[in-house]
Amino acid sequence: MKRTTVSLPDDLALVAVREARRRGVSLSEVTRQALTEHLRLVPDERRRLPFGKLGRSGHTDTSERVDEILAHGWIDSIEQHRDR
């Protein structure tokens, strides 16, 4: 496991510490759970990345619009995963 330092605004840090106490777990555990849920990670499942669809976009100007296409693909991917 990798140790990482994260800076939080005081109000968010206070809420996170209170949540850890409420659950009877460490602040690290609350943080791991929150990130896992936010990033929609599923243990033992490979995450599909939306940029794999770049070659099938149907656009002839993909290289000029890569940021726009990636952003759209990322949102679609998150929404599909959320619907599961």
CATH number of the CATH domain containing 16: 1.10.1220
| Backbone phi and psi for residue 41, each to the nearest 5 degrees, phi listed first | -90, 135
The pTM assigned to this predicted structure is 0.52
* Domain identity same for 56 and 24: no
> Do 23 and 30 meet the contact criterion of CB atoms below 8 Å apart?
yes
Total domains in the fold of the chain = 2
What pLDDT score was predicted for residue 53?
59
| Domain that includes residue 4, residue range | 1-39
The strand ranges marked E within 10-60 are: none
What pLDDT score was predicted for residue 16?
96
* Domain identity same for 26 and 55: no
* Domain identity same for 35 and 54: no
* Burial (CB count <10 Å: 0-12, 13-18, 19+), residue 39: exposed
What pLDDT score was predicted for residue 45?
67
User: pLDDT tens digits for the chain (84 residues)?
Assistant: 899 999 999 999 999 999 999 999 999 999 999 998 888 877 766 766 666 655 665 667 777 877 887 787 777 666 666 665
The CA–CA distances, whole Å, from 42 to 29, 38, 56, 57 equal: 16, 11, 26, 27
* Domain identity same for 34 and 56: no
* Domain identity same for 27 and 4: yes
Which amino acid type is present at position 83?
D
